[in-house]
Structure 1
Amino acid sequence: MSEKRDKHWYLSLMAPNQKGPGFAWLDPSRLYANQKAFRDCVTHLIQPYDPNEIDLVVGIDGAGFILGASVATRLNKGFLTIRKEHCLCVKTFSEKYQHHSGGEKVLEIRQDAFPEGIAVIAIESNTHKLTKEITEKYKCTHLVPSEMQPEVDKQYFESFKKFEEGKADFAYFK
């Protein structure tokens, strides 16, 4: 990671939801499209882990596929998907959860494909009940620094003001 950039500089590339309710509150596409940002993000995610203690990387539908597969490739590990309900054609374990839009959804994971003790990467605050339970049970790392956690909890980054004011810097490939 470049010494000249703030450790979490890449978060400012994520764009806010402009379509309204029912959509995720941010879009990480610009982060993924920027080679340096994507590399720094993956580097940051794997820093707290000893690769020798990892058997498998798991990613949840959507962003988890992109980040999880990238982490797995960097660590030279296998990758397992957690899918939305009815996407897997094999026996699965299912778990209900509350989606970002407030609706209840179901995720599934193949029954015979994962070991116990998988670590977790989360962006939610430990004030959320389920996140607190996960962070107490598994080793976790957060994509955002603790000082930015209140912004994540409000689902609004200060950098979103650039988008609202039409001042977003689109020269991010340099």
Structure 2
Amino acid sequence: MDLCHIPTAREKGWYLALMAPNVKGPNYAWLDPSRLYCHPQGDPIDMVAGIDAMGFILGAAAAARLQKGFLAIRKAGHLCVQTQAQPYTDYSGREKVMEVRTDAISPGLRILLVDQWVETGGTMRAAIQLVEQLGGVVAGVAAICIEDSEGGRWLQEHYKCAHCVPPHLQPRFDQHQLG
């Protein structure tokens, strides 16, 4: 399949051929789905928020498609305005801090959270906490993949979630094996 060509007839899993495997080692995500973006469906939303950094690409594409505003949820230290901060542990076990502008989320604002991948759920949970601390409502969570992990299951039990992995391939994604 031509890596820049999106087929018009799309069977389940069509996008897998567009993903590139990790060639840099264990400190990086095991797949790079940069060529893809999710088309969220469902409840009305007011804004799309993308999580630093791959969530920026996917979230911006979703926001443009939905004709909604886009908000970047950043790793700490990148915003020069008043922020709300939330510590979390990422998929690699590193302690980090996520932050968002305090003036971007008003009470009741319905937000679709978008990230590339949910492994342990720590990063997404931090984003959820930021939105909810500022009075926003998490209308849904969208990702290329939400793994069947403790954090992934928690997300799917508590929030409306959408991801792109067909059920018969989910075990391969959970084990980081496409071969």
Cα gap change, 1:93 to 1:147, in 2 (>3 Å): farther
Q: Figure out how many residues of one structure are paired with residues of the other and give that number.
A: 143
From 62, 65, 68, the equivalent of 1:77 is 68
From 127, 137, 149, the equivalent of 1:117 is 137
Counting helix residues as a fraction of each chain, which structure ranks higher? 1
Is 1:20 the counterpart of 2:42? The answer is no
Matched-pair identity in %: 48
- C-alpha displacement of 1:69: 0.3
Is 1:104 the counterpart of 2:95? The answer is yes
- C-alpha displacement of 1:57: 0.5
User: Gaps (5+ residues) in structure 2?
Assistant: 1-5, 110-135
1:16–1:156: 8 Å Cα contact kept in structure 2? no
Q: Who is 1:147 aligned against?
A: 168
Q: Which runs of 4+ in 1 moved over 6 A?
A: none
From 125, 135, 141, the equivalent of 2:156 is 135
1:19-63 alpha-carbon deviations (Å, 9 max, x no partner): 11212211224xx2xxxxx4xx43xx32x324xx11000110121
Is 1:63 the counterpart of 2:54? The answer is yes
Normalization by structure 2: what TM-score? 0.69
1:97–1:106: 8 Å Cα contact kept in structure 2? yes
Q: Who is 1:171 aligned against?
A: none
Which of 1 and 2 has greater Rg? 1
Counting strand residues as a fraction of each chain, which structure ranks higher? 2
Separation in 1, partners of 2:88, 2:172: 22
Normalization by structure 1: what TM-score? 0.71
1:60–1:83: 8 Å Cα contact kept in structure 2? yes
